[in-house]
Amino acid sequence: MELLPGKEKVFCEEILEKGLILDSKIERTDFVHGSYDFICVLNGPIKEIDRRLIELRNSPYIRKTETLICFEMFTWDQVKQKVDEEK
């Protein structure tokens, strides 16, 4: 999610108050630097994820969102093992 400049704190307060990230569909939320301000990892049936995304997008502080669908997830240990196997 890309937020309006300077709205990171108020956005965090909003989603905490509404309980939007304290949910089994959202595995983690990270504040990041770069083109986007927050990354949310959601897990569950696509209809439930879509409902949660719509709720998040209703925030007046969000300028832009981008949805990336993961087909397979790996832990860092699994990635390291794959890299080591290819050496």
Kindly give the confidence (pLDDT) of every residue in the chain, 87 residues in length, as a single tens digit, with 9 standing for 90 and above. Answer: 999 999 999 988 888 887 766 665 677 778 898 899 998 888 888 888 888 888 888 999 999 999 888 777 778 888 889 888 887
pLDDT the model gives residue 12? 86
- Looking at residue 23, its pLDDT comes to 61
Could you give the 3-state DSSP secondary structure of residue 38?
A: strand
Architecture per CATH, domain 2-86, reads as: 2-Layer Sandwich (3.30)
Q: Residue 69 is encoded by which pair of tokens?
A: 């669908």
3-state class (DSSP) for residue 64: strand
Distance CA 26, CA 46 (A): 12
Give the residue extent of every domain in the chain: 2-86
Burial of 15 (0-12, 13-18, 19+ CB in 10 A): buried
Residue-level pLDDT at 75: 82
